[in-house]
Amino acid sequence: MAIFTGLLVLLFWGADPQSGSEPPGDVVVSTPTSDATPAAALVPEEKPLTVEPARQDPPPAEKPGALKDIRPLRLHVPLQPRERSGFGFGSYGRVTLGTNMDGEPVYPVNITGHGPRLEESTYVELDLYYRLHPMRGLRSKMVATLALNDSLFHYNGSWESGMAVRNLYLEMTPQALPGVSFWAGSRMYRGDDIYLLDFWPLDNLNTLGAGVWYDRRPLRGGLHVGTNRVLGPYQYQEEVVNTPTVGETTIATLNRQRFIASAKLEFWHQVNDTLGFKIKGYGEFHKLPQGTYNALGEPEERIDLPAESGYVVGLQGGLWGFSPHSFVNVFARYASGIAAYGEFSQPLGLGYMPDLGTDYSASTARDFVLALVGNYVLPGRLGVQLGAYWRTFEDADGMTHDWDDGNELVVALRPMLFVPELVGRQFALGAEFSYQRTERAGLHPETDLPAHPSVWKISILPTWISGPDTYSRPAVRLFYTIAMPDEDARLWYHRMDYRRTRTIEHFVGISAEWWFNSSTYQ
């Protein structure tokens, strides 16, 4: 909490009172208060002009051709900070509260890796950054992002919060190299996501590393190298030993870092004033050195773990501008070896239910994802969000009929009808429909029978929203959700879990969500 308190003191002490007060790219127009003609508007006598009284320009969105700047970005940020020196603050956050019919808190009814996000718990990121020009021809930006989980004192009475540092890096932009910037530190290194599922299907690295970024349309791209050492028996292990000098001490017996390199390249093309598309290629390479795992059994067992490697290749196609604030993105991603598990996940095959090969290698693991995200807006009346993915995974144990292998499908659709006649332009009647299913290659470990679990969910979402787009924020929504897991889906709960007997769940609640001036969610 000392860290959190210090950051808040820094925020209120150094904040620019005008920071984030204007929309991105807006130019402040000074309108004369008198009827006199401004001096700047005078012209030579030989070319007389009729000068109308100065007036403020209409909003950019109403100008012809203004939609050319609409891009298929993750979020529509209404308050993006300008590139100017000084302290800045941004945030992403959500607060959710509600109950089911038994008086219990809201919980997600999901059977897939990335189910619909509507029941997600409270979460906030506090984004602190400082921009400065340390010398002529050089711009720099320092970013620190502190994240807090759903441990709220006003809810649980506990004077403790779960915190994590999500960003801590420095970025340098030399003006002598147009479009080029360099960064080093710890950061979220991401591309486009599927908002309804809170899922980044192509590039989503959490890395301690460094990289270079190039952005001069029509090309954008970057190279990055980084590392991690996830706490767990696959990468790090400690053992208590006795020494003749200091007595009992703790040493690291397994201490291997994963090295990750990534590359991405995008080609953007504006077809006309509104319509544009992009094509993106992406790749990763993972490397893990060899090590020794101590099973710490009786008798003691040591296992030699081989060096590991893996790779990711992927493509993305995007189209935007076919309607205001509208876009569609399609993704394909294939991962092999240690990269199939992701940078934070670790194989579980060290003893119980092995998912490694007989040589304790993950080299034959495979993961493939196809994904789709879209947003369509009929200005002033209708908005529709879509998110879907299909994934298949195979671990490295070589077993043909294996409960750990299988595929999953998730589809979510959220229409929003704007009804200015009822409460004003800020109100929308929303709904969400979702379906998720998973198929496993083996028998259920409890019943020894095939299982075909699926879940349907239907939600009603009256929403107060601060703009005409489905991505406009801040927003406050009421929700009523019906979740219908089938019999096989309820096997996901332990036999002693009371939720296992519920064929239908009803949830009602309220949630608030915002994002502004974020250095991560652009």
- What are the mean pLDDT values of the chain's consecutive 10-residue runs (522 residues total)? 46 41 35 36 41 48 45 44 77 96 94 94 95 93 96 93 96 96 97 97 96 96 96 86 84 92 98 96 97 72 89 98 96 96 77 72 94 94 96 89 90 94 86 96 89 96 92 96 96 89 96 88 60
133-162 burial, b at 16+ Cβ within 10 Å, e below that, comes to eeeeeebbbebbbbbbebeeeeeeeeeeee
* H helix count then E strand count, the chain: 2, 22
Whether 331 contacts 315, CB under 8 Å: yes
Q: Read out DSSP for 338-400?
A: GGGG-SS-----SSSS--S-TTS--TT-EEEEEEEEEEEEETTTEEEEEEEEEEEEE-SS--S
CB 227 within 8 A of CB 235: no
Confidence at residue 317, expressed as pLDDT on a 0 to 100 scale: 98
At residue 9, the pLDDT reads 43
Q: Residue 521: what pLDDT?
A: 63
The alpha carbon of 409 is separated from its chain's Cα centroid by a whole number of angstroms, namely: 19
C-alpha span between 54 and 204 (Å, rounded): 48
How far, in Å, CA of 486 to CA of 505, rounded?
11
pLDDT at 84: 72
Taking the C-alpha atoms of residue 98 and residue 478, their distance in angstroms, rounded to an integer, is 10
Residues 210-268: tens digit of each pLDDT? 999 999 999 999 999 999 999 888 899 888 888 888 788 888 889 999 999 999 999 99
* CB distance 390 to 407 below 8 Å: yes
410-464: per-residue pLDDT in tens?
A: 999 999 999 888 778 889 999 999 999 999 988 888 899 999 999 999 999 999 9
Residues forming a β-bridge with 239: 251
- pLDDT of 433 reads 98
| pTM summary value | 0.81
Cα–Cα distance measured from residue 495 to residue 446, given in angstroms and rounded to the nearest whole number:
9
Residue partners of 516: CB distance under 8 A and separation at least 6: 20, 77, 78, 79, 90, 91, 473, 474
Token digits for 133?
């020009």
Separation in Å, CA 305 to CA 151, 184, 289, 301:
38, 31, 9, 13
The residue type of 37 is T
From the number of C-beta atoms within 10 Å of its C-beta (0-12, 13-18, 19+), residue 441 rates as middle
For the chain, domain boundaries: 91-516
Residue 202 structure tokens: 């192509």
Phi-psi region of 223 (alpha: psi -120 to 50; beta: other; left: phi over 0): beta
Q: Judging by DSSP bridges, how do beta strands 258-270 and 219-228 pair with one another?
A: antiparallel
pLDDT score for 296: 65
| pLDDT of the residue at 50 | 45
- Output the pLDDT for position 244: 83
Its CATH architecture, for the domain 91-516, is Beta Barrel (2.40)
Residues 138, 332: Cα–Cα separation, whole Å: 38
